[in-house]
Amino acid sequence: MPSWRFVRFENPLSMPSVADLGEPSTLTARIAPANLRLGQEIADRGDVELIEFGALRVVAKVGGTAASGQRRTVELVSTPNGLEWSCTCTRNRSLFCKHCVATALTAWQKAPMRRG
């Protein structure tokens, strides 16, 4: 599990969705500026394909084309301990990479109901 998380929650029954945790101002406050910029560019290009889009779990293929082999698989999960993530671009589980940023932003944009 990553050593760094967005938010800690006391009551798992009131956990926010992945989309809520990916709200842009939350990302801006927590992520390296380069990853924010690159992730936003990926999301703006439409290079995020949501494979699974649930309230508490999002799985996506990000970047490139399927034929290029450069697509990364990202998983974002809302847990009682906050947002947890993984990306196939790195083994560093604490890095919220540009692919994770792009997935979080896309999930937030496509969420049927957003807070704020």
**Domains of the chain: which residue ranges?**
12-110
The pLDDT of residue 80 is 87
Per-residue pLDDT reduced to its tens digit, 42-71: 999 999 999 999 999 999 999 866 556 689
| Residue ranges in the chain modelled with pLDDT below 70 | 1-14, 64-69, 113-116
* Start-to-end Cα distance in the chain: 29
> How many Å apart are CA 82 and CA 94, to the nearest integer?
13
- How far from 14 is each of 6, 8, 11, 77, CA to CA, in Å? 16, 12, 6, 14
Task: Supply the pTM of this predicted model.
Answer: 0.81
Give the DSSP H or E segment for 77: strand 72-79
- How far is residue 40's CA from residue 20's CA, in Å, rounded to a whole number? 17
- Report pLDDT for 36: 92
Contact between 100 and 48 under an 8 Å Cβ cutoff? The reply is no
